[in-house]
Amino acid sequence: MSLFDLSPEEFTALSVLIGFALLPGLTTDQQNSLGNFLMGVGQVLETAAAQQAVADDKCPDRVSELQTQIKLLEARLAALEGQSGGS
């Protein structure tokens, strides 16, 4: 079982348990430092995922645009073939 196979509730509960398990072994300054570090890692992951989502959203538009261009080119080619065949 992967960490990503957990339900949202299980995933949240696991984070709470890990957080509480770390508390007794760390000073207040260490807790603050580790918390800020983990938040920084989380921000990097969030930023990368958001940028990928933006890039993925653009992709269908580009595919649709290219498909439209292909259809136009096919129509022009057919028209040209029709002209050359009628001469």
Spatial contact of 75 and 83, defined as CB atoms under 8 Å apart: no
User: Is the entire prediction scored with pTM above 0.75?
Assistant: no
Q: What is the pLDDT of residues 31-49, one digit of tens each?
A: 999 999 999 999 999 999 9
Distance CA 53, CA 1 (A): 26
Quick: pLDDT tens for 63-73: 788 899 999 99
Whose tokens are 């990097």? That residue is: 44
3-class secondary structure per residue, 22-35: HHHHCCHHHHHHHH
